[in-house]
Amino acid sequence: MENAIEQALDAVQTLGPMADKKTIASHKEAIASVPPELMQKVTESIKTAADMGDVIQIKSIAEELKSESDAMGPLCDELIQLAEDFDFDGVQKSILELDS
């Protein structure tokens, strides 16, 4: 049983980085379609909300951005899910990806 668990964990770990790289690439494509001034405003607002641990504000900003840009839908959905999971480090990481 121990071997089976180790194999399963090894398999899962090999999937993680690939999914991250694909997600980052698709986010960067979506970001290119959003006006820079809007992106800056959104990233600053979400950073502030994440620093304060304000789940409702993060979700609200993500929903607003999602309504303004269909291309940002997947990223906004990710931010909403991270906020609902109280994963503020994940929110900050996603925002850092937007800035880069």
What are 40-91's pLDDT values in tens digits? 888 889 999 999 999 999 999 989 888 877 777 888 888 899 999 899 888 8
Q: How far is CA 13 from CA 3, 4, 8, 45, 69, in A?
A: 15, 14, 9, 33, 33
pLDDT score of 27: 58
pLDDT score of 21: 45
Distance CA 58, CA 35 (A): 20
pLDDT score of 59: 93
Distance CA 97, CA 100 (A): 5
| Global model pTM greater than 0.85 | no
Please determine, for residue 17, whether its predicted confidence score (pLDDT) is greater than 60. no
Q: How far is CA 23 from CA 2, 11, 26, 53, in A?
A: 32, 19, 5, 24
pLDDT score of 48: 92
Backbone angles phi, psi at 85, to 5 degrees: -85, 5
